[in-house]
Structure 1
């Protein structure tokens, strides 16, 4: 599934890969429409019918992920509203063991996320995730979403890498396809990003796992090789 011995760098998505996507799903589909309904004296369902199609229309673009964009468009403080449900932020199963194994194997780990810096700060405060990886890059630093193939070329500015010895792990098939098309040698899909939702079907061309315990044994074998090889 993954050729660990050929790798030097592992790029990791955050939301839906390392962290449970339920936080974001609940926020955008339930909590935000609720607060919008209160602001505009609407029924909750009427607010959802208005807000959710507006959000979905931006899917795959940087605006989709941009807290500032939605704060301005909806006249709500998105970062503050996210903090109201911050107790839902948490790791997916086996993530801390996986990150510890990556570190022990000598692999360089970089979180590559579309998350805006403001909610990113909230999530790091809640999880300490930044202490478990070597670096974090937000697509907002580069002005392109990961779905954009050019993103991967621009990423060299902040996190130089050799494509032929890099793995990208993500729950988004469009992101993984973009990374693959940009030359990243190995891609791995997370099929169960949201603990409250059914898992995705397997991608026809990209291997997938439900949880990281499926790859931990092979990764730990790498640890026993000289210099992590």
Structure 2
């Protein structure tokens, strides 16, 4: 599926790509609304509707991913609530071998994520995957999410790359479309970002189930 000889730069998303998206879906859809209800002594169903409505209002924006924004908006310590269930953070199958092989190759490998640094730090501490990257790019540092075409211009300014020989793997197809519009030449998605949900069958971009399907040479 990938001609590795034609790839010199690899951009990898984190949530739903390297890590199981089940943690994030459970946190935002269940744990956060429930704890919000407990902290503010509100009806749980009402709290669930309130939190989901607020999340929907900023979907796809930088605030949608921002721990500080949600801590302020909901008057809860979102980072602390994430740590309450950090045992659920899980690396997807074959990811560590995939990262190890990329790290040992001459390719530049960057973690490129919309995750806020407070959430990112928790996940890196739990998984240890940070050691495999040549750099970590956080959209909050660039002040624009990956869904925005301007993100890729900002990324190129900080970490120059040749678009035609760059591979991006991301579970978010809006992000992949943004990258394609910029000109990134190799794009791939995940068919089952959340292991607790059904595999996707209607992805616009080529997809894999696990990373052993595209393992680079040892």
Query: Aligning the two structures, in what range does the TM-score lie when normalised by the shorter sequence?
Result: over 0.9
Measured in 2, the distance between the counterparts of 1:202 and 1:181 equals 20
Measured in 2, the distance between the counterparts of 1:160 and 1:39 equals 46
SS at match of 1:167: strand
Counterpart of 2:64?
A: 64
The question of whether the paired residues in 2 share the 8 Å contact of 1:202 and 1:208 is answered with no
Q: Are positions 1:164 and 2:160 aligned together?
A: no
**1:143-222 map, 5 Å:** 143-204=143-204, 206-216=205-215, 219-220=216-217
Measured in 1, the distance between the counterparts of 2:121 and 2:22 equals 18
Measured in 2, the distance between the counterparts of 1:6 and 1:135 equals 21
- Name stretches of at least 5 consecutive residues in structure 2 with no aligned partner: none
Measured in 2, the distance between the counterparts of 1:159 and 1:59 equals 27
SS at match of 2:110: strand
Deviation track 1:154-202 (CA, whole Å, cap 9, x = no partner) reads: 0023322111110000000000000011010110011111111112223
Measured in 2, the distance between the counterparts of 1:33 and 1:103 equals 39
SS at match of 2:5: helix
- Name stretches of at least 5 consecutive residues in structure 1 with no aligned partner: 224-229
Deviation track 1:24-49 (CA, whole Å, cap 9, x = no partner) reads: 11110111001111122223222111
Measured in 2, the distance between the counterparts of 1:209 and 1:130 equals 22
Deviation of the 1:104 alpha carbon: 2.7
The question of whether the paired residues in 1 share the 8 Å contact of 2:17 and 2:169 is answered with yes
Counterpart of 1:117?
A: 117
The question of whether the paired residues in 1 share the 8 Å contact of 2:191 and 2:203 is answered with no
**TM-score of the two chains, using structure 2 as the length reference:** 0.96
Deviation of the 1:97 alpha carbon: 1.2
Q: Are positions 1:105 and 2:112 aligned together?
A: no
Measured in 2, the distance between the counterparts of 1:110 and 1:171 equals 16
The question of whether the paired residues in 2 share the 8 Å contact of 1:137 and 1:158 is answered with no
Aligned residues: 218
Q: Are positions 1:17 and 2:17 aligned together?
A: yes
SS at match of 1:202: coil
